[in-house]
């Protein structure tokens, strides 16, 4: 019985030490890996936004042209749709 008590008291002590270590680590803030990952995600977000901005004018032209062709098809204009 004494062996079991000693074993379980060590487990409890180890959990308490682990909890204290986790709390201390959380108080330090994000680690190097988290900072690197955040920087990579921010860089990719900026790249995606730049790509969208670069093609924004193309989407407007495509939409305008599609609207013009639909109007011509519905109401006719006497001109071919090409």
Check residue 78 and report its DSSP letter: S
Q: What is the pLDDT of residues 45-82, one digit of tens each?
A: 999 999 888 877 776 666 777 788 888 888 876 555 55
Are 81 and 72 spatial neighbours (Cβ–Cβ below 8 Å)?
yes
- What is the pTM for the complete model shown? 0.44
Greatest Cα pair distance in the chain: 100
What residue ranges do the domains of the chain occupy?
A: 1-29, 31-76
Are 41 and 30 spatial neighbours (Cβ–Cβ below 8 Å)?
no
């Amino acid at each position: 019985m004494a062996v079991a008590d000693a074993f379980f008291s060590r487990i409890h002590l180890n959990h308490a030490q682990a909890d204290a270590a986790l709390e201390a680590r959380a108080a330090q803030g994000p680690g190097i890996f988290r900072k690197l990952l955040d920087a990579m995600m921010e860089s990719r977000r900026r790249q995606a936004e730049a790509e969208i901005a670069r093609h924004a004018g193309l989407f407007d032209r495509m939409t305008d042209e599609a609207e013009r062709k639909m109007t011509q098809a519905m109401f006719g204009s006497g001109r071919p749709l090409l």
